[in-house]
Amino acid sequence: MMNLLLSCGFPSPAADYESELVDLNRLMLRHPDASFLARAHGESMRGAGIHDGDVLAVDRSMLAQDGDIVVACVEGEYTVKRLSKRVDSVALVAENPAYPPIVVRNADNLRIFGVVVLVLHPLVTEGRRGLSYVRPQ
């Protein structure tokens, strides 16, 4: 696999020969023994750039802070939401106004499994990526 450092702005003439090795394991799983990958399902986190089918890298070693996107279990149901700590409760807030926040008043009903640290989402559908093609000449 070729590894290039690509500009998404105006290209630099000096950047023709720049390259950087990208190690996906190191990028996604900074703490491999305390991390896992999960697939997102649903539309509740679209505003945070998390789409249905995306792959999430979750770090269990991080202490979840207010504003982090977390994987949580509320009364036996797993969810990915933005953590909002309040004076008398904790809310798990969706990044889509069509979904109401989940307010948890009893800490025994909430378990945080980790902090979402990275999201991968495809730009081409799975079916199309499996197709081979002939390059135009």
Q: What is the pLDDT of residue 2?
A: 44
- Of 54, 61, 65, 72, which is closest to residue 118 (Cα–Cα)? 54
Q: What is the pLDDT of residue 4?
A: 47
Q: What is the pLDDT of residue 52?
A: 93
Contact by Cβ (8 Å): 50, 80: yes
Query: What are the pLDDT tens digits along the chain (137 aa)?
Result: 444 454 555 655 555 555 667 666 666 677 778 788 899 999 999 999 999 999 999 999 999 999 999 999 998 899 999 999 988 899 999 999 999 999 999 888 999 999 999 998 888 877 776 666 666 56
**Looking at 35, 81, 85, 89, which residue is catalytic?**
81
Burial of residue 99, with CB atoms counted within 10 A of its CB: 0-12 exposed, 13-18 middle, 19 or more buried: middle
Distances in Å between the Cα of 104 and the Cα atoms of 9, 17, 87, 130 are 43, 53, 12, 43
Note if 44 is an active site residue. yes
Domain boundaries, the chain: 30-122
**Looking at 12, 19, 35, 44, which residue is catalytic?**
44
Note if 81 is an active site residue. yes
| CATH number listed for the domain at residues 30-122 | 2.10.109.10
